[in-house]
């Protein structure tokens, strides 16, 4: 029996789910104050959203991404944020496809669940479900 070598190998991207968390502050905060509020959620990549024409100006919102390590600890952080400087949080395990070159394409959310600020305990981090806490 003859075996042929594979003529061309296509490396496929990596698929998975990462925590995707959007935080909207009750009022725009100075950059350092925004980072101080977000500090308890260590280990995530943080993107501060500020105006393009004033990148060092007030920060109305931020996005945190990365692997979900401890759901209970994250629920405690979400509850503390919502009791303090945060108006709304959108959080969930977002599906992604990462190419071999490192580009990430995010998949559409399967479902949205809107909860009250005091219902953080109902966030189950189900894959593909975005929880909106307001």
8-state DSSP, 7: S
d(CA 121, CA 52): 36
Helices (H) and strands (E) in the chain, counts: 2, 7
Closest CA to 50 of 39, 35, 68, 65: 35
Per-residue pLDDT tens over the stretch 88-113: 999 999 999 988 887 888 899 999 99
How far from chain centre, in Å, is Cα 5?
42
Per-residue pLDDT tens over the stretch 76-93: 999 999 999 999 999 999
Residue 42 CB partners (closer than 8 Å, separation 6+): none
Per-residue pLDDT tens over the stretch 31-87: 999 999 999 999 999 999 987 777 778 999 999 999 999 999 999 999 999 999 999
Count the neighbouring beta carbons within 10 Å of the beta carbon of residue 87: 16
């Amino acid at each position: 029996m003859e075996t042929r070598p594979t003529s061309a190998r296509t490396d496929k991207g990596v698929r998975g789910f990462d925590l995707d968390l959007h935080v909207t502050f009750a009022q725009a905060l100075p950059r350092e104050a925004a980072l101080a509020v977000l500090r308890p959620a260590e280990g995530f990549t943080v993107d501060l959203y500020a105006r393009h024409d004033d990148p060092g100006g007030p920060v109305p919102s931020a996005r945190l991404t990365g692997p979900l390590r401890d759901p209970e600890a994250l629920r405690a952080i979400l509850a503390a944020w919502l009791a303090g400087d945060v108006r709304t949080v959108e959080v969930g395990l977002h599906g992604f496809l990462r190419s071999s070159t490192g580009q990430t394409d995010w998949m559409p959310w399967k479902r949205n669940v809107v909860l009250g600020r005091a219902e953080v305990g109902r966030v189950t981090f189900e894959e593909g479900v975005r929880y909106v806490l307001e």
